[in-house]
Amino acid sequence: MKTTDRDREALEAATREQLREIAQDEESLGHRLRAIHGSLPVSPREDLMLLGEEDADFSCRVRGGIECALADHVEPLLRDLRALAAEEARDAAPQP
């Protein structure tokens, strides 16, 4: 069965909508992680912990893990999903 331009356009529109929804979920995840990060106290000895001169306490480990997760995974994924959702159809055949 041949896919028509209308079918392809509908599929692309549905896919973009799903990507936008996933991006919203990912944004909520980021907000939740930032809330946890903000609720944890900064250890008065965190500078030494980050330098490796003292063992990191729970708060320092969690705050650092969240910072890395946001910077390395959540924010790039959110950026990429939004870009894909906003992408216009480039594969469409030129109209005569």
Structure tokens at 14: 């549905």
Nearest alpha-carbon partner for 41 in 26, 60, 23:
60
**Per-residue pLDDT tens for 77-90?**
999 999 999 887 55
Indicate the pTM of the whole model: 0.78
DSSP structure class, residue 74: I
Q: Tell me, what's the pLDDT at 93?
A: 47
The stretches in the chain having pLDDT less than 70 are 1, 89-96
Which amino acid, 82? R
Q: Tell me, what's the pLDDT at 35?
A: 98
Q: Tell me, what's the pLDDT at 88?
A: 76
